[in-house]
Amino acid sequence: MAQNITVPDIGDFDSVEIIEVLVKMGDQINKDDPIVTLESDKSSVEVPSPVSGKVIELNIKVGDKVSKGSLLAKLDNDSHTIKNKNPIPKNNSLPEIKAKPTEEKGSANINTTKNIKTIFAQSPSKDDFDPVETQEWIESLNAVIENDGPSRASYLLNKVISKAYTAGLVLPDTRTTPYINTIPTELEIKSPGDQNIEKKIRAYIRWNAAAMVVRANKISSELGGHIGTFASAATLYDVGMNHFWRAKNKDFGGDLIYFQGHSAPGMYARAFLEGRLNEKQLNKFRQEVDAGGLSSYPHPWLMPKFWQFPTVSMGLGPIMAIYQARFLKYLINRGLVKDEGRKIWVFIGDGETDEPESLGAISLAAREKLDNLIFVINCNLQRLDGPVRGNGKIIQELEGSFRGAGWNVLKVIWGSYWDPLLKADKSGLLMKRMNECVDGEYQAMKAKGGAYVREKFFGKYPELKELVSSMTDNDIWKLNRGGHDPHKVYAAYHAAMQHRGSPTVVIAKTVKGYGMGKSGESMNTTHQQKKLDEQDLLYYRDRFNVPLTDEQVKNIEYYKPAEDSEEIKYLKERRKQLGGFIPERSSLAKPIKAPPKDIFESFMKSTGEKEMSTTMVLVRMMTSLLRDPNVAPRLVPIIPDEARTFGMEGFFRKIGIYAHEGQKYEPEDSEQLSSYKETKSGQVLEEGITEAGAMSSWIAAATAYTNHDIEMIPVYIFYSMFGFQRVGDFAWAAGDAQARGFLIGATAGRTTLAGEGLQHQDGHSHILASMIPNCISYDPTFSYEMAVIFREGLRRMHEKNENIFYYITAMNENYSHPEKPEGADEGILKGMYLFKEYKNKGKIKIQLMGSGTILREAIAAAKILSEEYGVDSDIWSVTSFNELRKDGMEVERKNLLYPNGEKRKSYVQNCLEKRDGPVIAVTDYVRSFSDQIRPYTEKPFYSLGTDGFGRSDTRKNLRKFFEVDKEHIVAYTLSALAKEQLIGAESAEKAIKKYNIDKNKAFPTKL
Ligand SMILES: Cc1ncc(C[n+]2csc(CCOP(=O)(O)OP(=O)(O)O)c2C)c(N)n1
Ligand SMILES: [Mg+2]
């Protein structure tokens, strides 16, 4: 039966152009196969076929204008669905993953909120005028727990609470729970490890970590380092390493661990015991200039086989990890990797949680149900200068934030030595004391010893003083904190591993500088302690029973037991059981073959009369790439709520928006071609308004080749102004992490995004991009430039696996695009090529350079100069001042190194040496952008640019204001020629007058 295929509802557009016809007469097509591509002045979108069938009539051709209801084709849809001729595989090189290594044993399904034996009633007010009644309530509850079980008790409480709310009662704030461990002692799962051996291993790691820092500072105090942070976190790491963290190997993708940046010494010290690092390397901690040194912090760029995640800029680790966990689920839901139950563990300092990035995305983690994510916050109560929350309790504050956001919170506050005291605390007074004490006091107690704790903590209430009366000061001093107790930590990690449905945070209380004694235990100066004198070292050795002689301690020797010692055998066996060593960075990803040239062919041709922006070109190109079977499944378009701004709404329906729960509603625009389609296998990451989050997603995708062994092609599109200057620190970390992918600074240029004004108009993102050594950046003008650059990016990054990433600016100004000049490819990629030569009269010549949309002003100016003033020009399209600068610097350095050698020439010099006249360079960016190549031109050089704050106005007025329009280019060129004594001053004066250029106007930076 013949079926008419018509143009569906395409939103607000009427009479849009057909730019591609994607089927031919006689083709057998499937439902949803695209028939044509339509393009409005802002976006392009494919029209899918609503049915399968054979094309028996084609009613349109390229260039036709159509509206809703226009007939496109007729299908004979008697034939049923046929196999796709050119299928886009969901996953065309799925890494082979076999069974995972041994799962942690122990009771499954521990739910720490279940089985609660005792309920601590906390009165919301202090006036318990009827304690007997209170007790009755508690007993009733206890009876329900005993007789009907915890789930019935929870049900009843929930009912009572709902009733209380509907009755308008003011209920106590339940964001926080009492200041005790979340997991009751009776429910703790016990570690299967040998505690004696583990304790020794931990002691050696502690010692070696501290020794490494102290040794480095003997060489030079410039080197720095930290002892106190790892000292506080050693147990938190060790329990993970011995029992939980599964390494990547051929059978399993591996857990991903984000180590707290300045706890790096501890990781080196462990790797030393594991035999992965040697003494010589430890001795080169923070001395990396000659090969073989160890980096100060986790830096994959500097130790590419060791570190995986750059975390030391505080706040970046937590948010990058959240999006990493989300991206892993994305890969799983899209069928690109298998679900192996891998976890992402993130270590954070309590001070680090001050950073807005640290907590800024925690609600996303809960919303996305990231039960593959485990945060461990090391609450040593201190940051660099002093207490984190001296007047409050950071653990409680964090509990409130994470619970409020929907996380599973596990507090590990008190160590086992407290258990008998808490058990004996029938009245709840000890817990009351724990609740009322603030962190400033807790810190002081650990700095000042047992007698002080007896007096200040227990001494406040006679009953508590009595409770510890049989304990010595030393016993009291030994009352440990949860984060130093391997049993408590094990129990929490175990529960975190079992938890399903939401992310988990383990909030552990520790002591900063644990074991450092008077040299820095729990002192405000602990953070910066990097030198320990002899006495301090002897104390540290004794504190942890490290088997070194006094002499060895004085020499600050490392301690490593023999290979056949029980400690080393144990440590290695544990890691063997868990699949290998951690951290370790590697990649088993297969490259993606760059698409054939013909996919880009249409972009090399002139668009004729048709005007479009480079943003539209890019979107069209991505649409074409989605037809390439190799590239299509790996493309990850990332957009922070701006798809419509960039004309990308066509992607919504075509490839879907990733939503882990699919779409639970019928979208308002469901009838439309670009309707808002959310799906579990969606490809677009629609991030909402979070540049930090979008950038974190991009980094996760851009490093998937190492973290998930699958090469992905992330394309993150954003307002260029909200790019590098907003998320510059992430971009730097991306360079360190060796990200591969595209960053697209859209609506770029100070005068090109006209109306948006000062905070939106970008005239410097390229300068910021140029600071990142492995970021390759381009400011293309024409469609073919964009295509040549993008294809080369795909080839270099994803086929050849170069560890670089691309920053490309795209504009929103519509204009027509010429055909690619013969042989321009090389120059486009190197950074400049000759676009056009004016050879009219030939007497006076200039070298006119431009980039982005402002190249078009230069082209227009060249015409005026030639026709009206007899000045000829060579017009250079400079696609990348940044790349030219890099080449220039390198060549210059080589020449300086070989003063007698043959002079090498920079690419700029090669382009210009046989050409006459001064250089006039003009861009939509600050002058320092084009100034970068000044030294390599070896010619008089004049730059015009957009220094100053932007403001809203028309493009024409803005270009006049910043003096980068064709009139100013003409006038300034003439003036420059006069200065170079190539012409007289009259022409310039004439032009200045003719174009009404106000000589009294202040320099734009002052306006
Ligand atoms: C963005 C950023 N700002 C500042 C620093 C400098 N800095 C390094 S460690 C530190 C204190 C960290 O305190 P906390 O997070 O509590 O970690 P702890 O050492 O106590 O475990 C600071 C301010 C940094 N690394 N990154
Ligand atoms: Mg801290």
Please compute Rg for the chain using Cα positions: 33
CA torsion sign for 109, 110, 113, 116 is positive
Q: If DSSP codes are grouped into helix, strand and coil, which group holds residue 876? A: strand
What's the pLDDT score for residue 166? 82
Q: How far apart are CA 924 and CA 965, in angstroms?
A: 10
| In the predicted structure, residue 110 carries a pLDDT above the cut 60 | no
For atom 12 of ligand 1, the residue with the nearest CA is 383
Q: How far apart are CA 974 and CA 976, in angstroms?
A: 5
Ligand 1: nearest atom to the Cα of 380 = 20
Residue with tokens 């300045």: 262
CB 382 within 8 A of CB 512: yes
Distance from Cα 311 to the centre of ligand 2, integer Å: 15
Q: How far apart are CA 928 and CA 770, in angstroms?
A: 11
Ligand 1: nearest atom to the Cα of 313 = 26
CB 682 within 8 A of CB 335: no
685's enclosing H/E stretch is strand 685-686
Distance from Cα 327 to the centre of ligand 1, integer Å: 27
Distance from Cα 943 to the centre of ligand 1, integer Å: 42
Pocket test for ligand 1, best of 446, 527, 736 (most atoms within 8 A of CB): 527
Q: Note the pLDDT tens digit of each residue in 112-135.
A: 444 444 443 334 555 778 888 988
CA-to-CA dists, residue 514 to 260, 484, 511, 815, 884, angstroms: 17, 9, 5, 66, 52
| In the predicted structure, residue 103 carries a pLDDT above the cut 70 | no
What's the pLDDT score for residue 117? 40
Pocket test for ligand 1, best of 232, 262, 312, 314 (most atoms within 8 A of CB): 314
Among 785, 776, 765, 779, residue whose Cα is nearest residue 742: 776
- Other C-beta atoms closer than 10 Å to the C-beta of 458 total 22
Q: Note the pLDDT tens digit of each residue in 578-607.
A: 999 999 999 999 999 999 988 999 999 999
Per-residue pLDDT band at 918 (split at 50, 70, 90): very high
CB 7 within 8 A of CB 72: yes
What's the pLDDT score for residue 90? 46
For ligand 2, a single-atom ion, the residues with CB < 5 A are 349-351, 380, 382
For atom 23 of ligand 1, the residue with the nearest CA is 384
Q: How far apart are CA 786 and CA 715, in angstroms?
A: 14
Among 395, 622, 410, 626, residue whose Cα is nearest residue 506: 410
Distance from Cα 856 to the centre of ligand 1, integer Å: 48
Average pLDDT over residues 697-709: 98
- Rounded to 5 degrees, what are φ and ψ at 316? -70, -40
Distance from Cα 734 to the centre of ligand 2, integer Å: 25
Burial zone of 598 (CB within 10 Å; 0-12 exposed, 13-18 middle, 19+ buried): exposed
Distance from Cα 438 to the centre of ligand 1, integer Å: 21
Distance from Cα 254 to the centre of ligand 1, integer Å: 28
Per-residue pLDDT band at 79 (split at 50, 70, 90): low
Can you give the pTM of this predicted structure? 0.92
Ligand 1: nearest atom to the Cα of 262 = 9
What's the pLDDT score for residue 842? 64
Distance from Cα 701 to the centre of ligand 1, integer Å: 27
Q: Note the pLDDT tens digit of each residue in 421-441.
A: 999 998 899 999 999 999 999
Ligand 1: nearest atom to the Cα of 383 = 13
For atom 20 of ligand 1, the residue with the nearest CA is 383
The pairing of strands 34-39 and 16-21 is: antiparallel
Q: What is the DSSP letter of 350?
A: T
Among 590, 621, 971, 995, residue whose Cα is nearest residue 784: 621
- Other C-beta atoms closer than 10 Å to the C-beta of 465 total 14
Average pLDDT over residues 917-942: 98
Percent of the chain's residues with pLDDT above 70: 95
805's enclosing H/E stretch is strand 805-809
Q: How far apart are CA 880 and CA 896, in angstroms?
A: 25
Ligand 1: nearest atom to the Cα of 378 = 21
| In the predicted structure, residue 101 carries a pLDDT above the cut 60 | no
Residue with tokens 């207490």: 387
Q: How far apart are CA 177 and CA 185, in angstroms?
A: 16
Distance from Cα 475 to the centre of ligand 2, integer Å: 26
Q: How far apart are CA 618 and CA 793, in angstroms?
A: 13
Q: Note the pLDDT tens digit of each residue in 953-986.
A: 999 999 999 999 999 999 999 999 999 999 999 9
Which ligand lies nearest the alpha carbon of 352?
1
Establish how many alpha carbons lie within 13 A of residue 276's alpha carbon, considering only the half-sphere containing its beta carbon: 19
Establish how many alpha carbons lie within 13 A of residue 701's alpha carbon, considering only the half-sphere containing its beta carbon: 28
Average pLDDT over residues 250-273: 97
| In the predicted structure, residue 95 carries a pLDDT above the cut 50 | no
| In the predicted structure, residue 273 carries a pLDDT above the cut 60 | yes
Q: How far apart are CA 35 and CA 47, in angstroms?
A: 6
Q: How far apart are CA 740 and CA 737, in angstroms?
A: 9
Which ligand lies nearest the alpha carbon of 356?
1
Pocket test for ligand 1, best of 384, 388, 507 (most atoms within 8 A of CB): 384
Burial zone of 55 (CB within 10 Å; 0-12 exposed, 13-18 middle, 19+ buried): buried
For atom 7 of ligand 1, the residue with the nearest CA is 384
Ligand 1: nearest atom to the Cα of 353 = 15
Three-class SS of 895-931: HHHCCCCCCCCCHHHHHHCCCCCCEEEECCCCHHHHH
Concatenated DSSP letters for 382-447?
B-SSSBSSTTS-HHHHHHHHHHHHT-EEEEE-B-GGGHHHHHH-TTSHHHHHHHH--HHHHHHHHH
Average pLDDT, the chain: 93
Among 278, 360, 273, residue whose Cα is nearest residue 322: 360
| In the predicted structure, residue 328 carries a pLDDT above the cut 80 | yes
Q: Any idea which of 27-36, 305-314, 685-694 has the lowest mean pLDDT?
A: 27-36
Amino acid at residue number 203: A
Q: Ligand 1: which residues within 6 Å by Cβ?
A: 229, 232, 262, 312-315, 349-352, 378, 380, 382-384, 388, 512, 527
Per-residue pLDDT band at 83 (split at 50, 70, 90): low
Among 478, 483, 298, residue whose Cα is nearest residue 378: 483
Q: Note the pLDDT tens digit of each residue in 165-224.
A: 888 887 777 889 999 999 999 999 999 999 999 999 999 999 999 999 999 988 888 898
For atom 10 of ligand 1, the residue with the nearest CA is 384
Distance from Cα 672 to the centre of ligand 2, integer Å: 53
- Other C-beta atoms closer than 10 Å to the C-beta of 262 total 24
